[in-house]
Structure 1
Amino acid sequence: MSSDNGSSEAVQSVERVVPEPLPLEDLFHIYGIERSHAENVARNALELFDILNFIHGLHPKIKSLVEIAALVHDTGVATDFKNHHKAGRNILLLHSPLEVPERLRPVVAWTAFLHKKSVGKEKVEKLKGKGFGKMPEDLQDLTLKVAALVRLADALDYSRMESRLGKVTFGKQSIKFEIEGQRAVIDAERMEKKCDLWHLLYNTRLEFRPAPKK
């Protein structure tokens, strides 16, 4: 049996079970989520949400959804480190954060799935034939937009050295970010890789470079 089929069957199995939402604090405790990284990623996601709002156009009310999705994106790490994006999705389909409105809970689970590996057009089309494609189209679209932000926010804390966004320069069809911190070179490089989903969704190019040393 292929891993894709196994993954698909796991999602179908989860979908047959009645979900039991849990408070965020319970998810942190039960699944051993690394709090410092989760909070850094949430902080980064909220900052990116605001800076890029004129492009993604998400309603301000969605900020809390982005924040929570960022906080729980690594829910599956302790369960299955290698495939934590899949484990996290399956856990969150069953135990979505109670703080998220019921209709939006699948967005959190699929954002966890989408945060790890590369995401291109082919992968998105493949997802539409799975559980992801069972969501209403507006939620599929919202999930991709939320995931694009969380991927970048996660990459900014790849080194776990609390890199931060510095100077932002706006061009006609591009935005350049300077990354500040002891491991800015590593994290800027990671953001360059993880902006693939953003570039699939939007025409505005994002560029990331370590800030010049003072």
Structure 2
Amino acid sequence: MNKKKGGKIAAVIDIGSNLLKMRICQLRKGEIVSLDRLQYPLCLGHEVFTEGKIRFESLRELSGILQGYSEIMAEYGTDQYKVVATTALREAKNRAYVVDQLKIQNDMTVEVLEDDQEKTLIYSEILSSLQTMEQKKIGNALISYIGAGTIGLSVFDGKNMIFSQNVPMGALKLHDMLGNIQEETEDFYVVVEEYLESIMGRIPLPQVEGGLQSLVLTGNEIELIAKICGVEPENDRYIIEAKQIKNLFKEVRSLSREKISDRFGIEEESAELLYSALAIYVRLIQCVKSNTVIAPKVDLWFALMKQMLIPKSSGEYFEHVRVNAISCAQAMSRTYNANEKHTENIRKFACKLFDKMKGTHGLDKRKRLLLELAAIMHDCGHYVNAKDHLSSSFDLLKNIDLYGMTDEEMHIIAYVARYNEYDVPNFDDIAFVGLSEANRLVVSKLVAIFRLANALDKSQMQKLDDIKVRLERERLIITGESDQNLYLEKWAFEQTAPFFKEVFGINPELTIKSKML
């Protein structure tokens, strides 16, 4: 098989919970064209969700199939490829051994995507799909991706995401966890509904004006459900009546997997997942006002393929993450009654300092985003505990889901947000030492900038509405204009300046000019 005429050829291999999939595509006249699509059934999810790890027999099978995929990529003359894994490998206790063996045996580097990374890539494709629909038709929407082992939930306000959370419960995991009870009761569906309610009913979906008007769902089982309901895709999306999904669930909820398989002519493994997925879909339908479910035909592989074949799409994706992460952070900050004028003011100051120091701190735009998010959310701890609000902010931020942010990044954000004019990172603190050396350095740099910015609005009264920043050799000169009393800000600035100098070797100086002059 010769390399076809056209642009670059790329491949995405997705090691999922029950399927090993590969897509090979080529860029032709700016469009991504599919050349080949392969998939192979694997039971990694069953093993991990019941035993906690992947068996070496399964690893050998996985390695053998990947060897075959490598040969097919070579036949197509593939220029680049990416291998990703999701829930099953992410949750496997022996994931390090599996990833290591695949590197040794197949010379493949497997990127194990975190929950937020996986869901954000899919959400970006969902929002691209929704852009072609009339905005008023969608309004406030609950957007969900139902995977084999996790459910991603986000709330869209018509412009941006304002909430994002992942639930460690998917169609396959739900079945594997409760499957044993099925033999003991004819009312198994009641058990499933009660269990789902105990998890889903506690998720603090934001109260939006007018309520949640639309439900946008996607996942591995949606095409099968649409097919059974007799719904054909239009503009690469299915529009399914909510009552059709409810009726289908009523039809299958008392049937065994063998009977579901016979009735719809599907594999028994698919029958198991169909039941679990429908139970989740029906529970989500209860959260919205809409009588229909919008189900775009989107997949993880396409988002990854775009980033490989269309260079500008990586920048567009980062901007998508930045805008929506900030939107979610601002919504969360409001939930915890933070002073929004203060947080936005120091966010502005922190960004100015960061940008002026670019040649000195050596940090990229992703770290700038972490600084912005820390500035927006640093005051949330007051809601929990005014006496020890810094620790409360830290504990709160390190344990939340924020759109597009990894667990590691949330830890960095939490550390940056927990320091004020009295506190600096302590290299004797066991928790801080637990960070990698690279991340300790990142935290120290961001903290030095954040504390300086925070000091400039210590009174939280925005006495300085703007600043000018100039870097001159070993001096960082910050100038502002105000006719108000800034003794508190000057005092806080003096407290934070020594650590800034310790980190960067640059002395910050603050000059306040009168507006009357």
| TM-score (structure 1 length as normaliser) | 0.78
Post-superposition shift, 1:151? 0.7
Matched with 1:41 is 346
Secondary structure of the residue aligned to 2:479 is strand
2:52 matches 1:52: no
- From 80, 105, 109, the counterpart of 2:414: 109
* AA at the equivalent of 1:89: F
Residue 187 in 1 paired to residue 492 in 2? Answer: no
Q: 2:351 and 2:396 mapped to 1: Cα distance?
A: 24
Q: CA deviation at 1:89?
A: 0.5
RMSD between aligned residues:
2.4
| Correspondences of 1:13-28 after superposition (within 5 Å) | 23-28=328-333
CA contact (8 A) 2:448 2:499 kept: yes
Helix, strand or coil for the counterpart of 1:178?
strand
Deviation track 1:127-158 (CA, whole Å, cap 9, x = no partner) reads: 2xx21211111111111111111111111111
The answer for unaligned runs of 5 or more in structure 1 is: 1-19
Could you say which residue in structure 1 is the equivalent of 2:106? none
* 1:176 matched to 2:477: yes
Mean Cα deviation higher: 188-197 or 74-83: 188-197
**Residue 77 (structure 1) aligned with residue 382 (structure 2):** yes
Match of 2:445 in 1: 145
Task: Give the residue type in structure 1 aligned to 2:431.
Answer: G
Aligned to 2:229: none
Q: Going by fraction, where is helix more abundant, 1 or 2?
A: 1
Q: 1:83 to 1:116 in 2, by over 3 A?
A: farther
Change over 3 Å in CA distance of 1:172–1:82 after alignment to 2: same
| Offset, 1:52 | 1.7
Task: Tell me the distance in 2 between the aligned counterparts of 1:103 and 1:170.
Answer: 31
Aligned partner of 1:133 among 433, 442, 461: 433
C-alpha contact 1:89 1:110 (8 A) present in aligned 2: yes
Equivalent residue number for residue 133 of structure 2: none
Deviation at 1:82, TM superposition (A): 2.5
| Partner SS, residue 397 of structure 2 | helix
Alignment of 1:206 onto 2:511: no
1:97 aligns with 2:402: yes
Which residue identity does 2:492 align to in structure 1? R
For 2:381, what is the secondary structure of its paired residue? coil
Q: Structure 1 residues 164 and 191 mapped into 2: Cα distance closer, same or farther (>3 Å)?
A: farther
Instruction: Map 1:157-176 onto structure 2 (within 5 A).
Output: 157-162=457-462, 163-164=464-465, 166-176=467-477
Displacement, 1:164?
4.4
Deviates most, 178-187 or 55-64? 178-187
Q: How far apart, CA to CA, are the structure 2 residues paired with 1:24 and 1:157?
A: 20
CA 1:170–1:139 in 2, change beyond 3 Å: closer, same or farther?
Answer: closer
- Once residues 55 and 109 of structure 1 are traced to their aligned partners in structure 2, the CA distance between those partners, rounded to angstroms, is 23
The verdict on how the C-alpha distance between 1:116 and 1:85 changes in structure 2, with shifts beyond 3 A counting, is farther
- Distance in 2 (CA, whole Å) between partners of 1:29 and 1:192 is 30
Q: Is the 8 A contact 1:69 1:108 kept in 2?
A: yes
- Cα pair 1:165 1:177 within 8 Å, conserved: no
Please tell me whether the aligned partners of residues 73 and 115 of structure 1 are also in contact (alpha carbons under 8 angstroms).
no
Q: SS of the counterpart of 1:175?
A: strand
Q: Post-superposition shift, 1:40? A: 0.9
Q: Secondary structure at the match of 1:206?
A: strand
Report the equivalent of 1:68. 373
Q: Please give the TM-score of this superposition, normalised by the length of structure 2.
A: 0.34
Which structure would you say has the larger Rg? 2
User: What's the offset of the Cα at 1:69?
Assistant: 1.0
* 1:23-62 deviation line (CA, Å, top 9, x unaligned): 4245224322221111111111111111122221211232
Do the aligned residues in 2 keep the contact of 1:189 with 1:208 (CA within 8 Å)?
Answer: no
In structure 2, C-alpha distance between the alignment counterparts of 1:170 and 1:26, rounded to whole Å: 34
1:169 Cα offset (Å): 4.7
Q: What is the CA distance between 1:115 and its match in structure 2?
A: 3.0
The runs of 5 or more residues in structure 2 that have no matched partner are 1-151, 153-163, 166-327
Q: Which moved more, 1:165-174 or 1:42-51?
A: 165-174
Separation in structure 1 between the aligned mates of residue 402 and residue 339 of structure 2, nearest angstrom: 16
TM-aligned CA deviation for residue 76 of structure 1: 0.4
Bigger shift: residues 161-170 or 41-50: 161-170
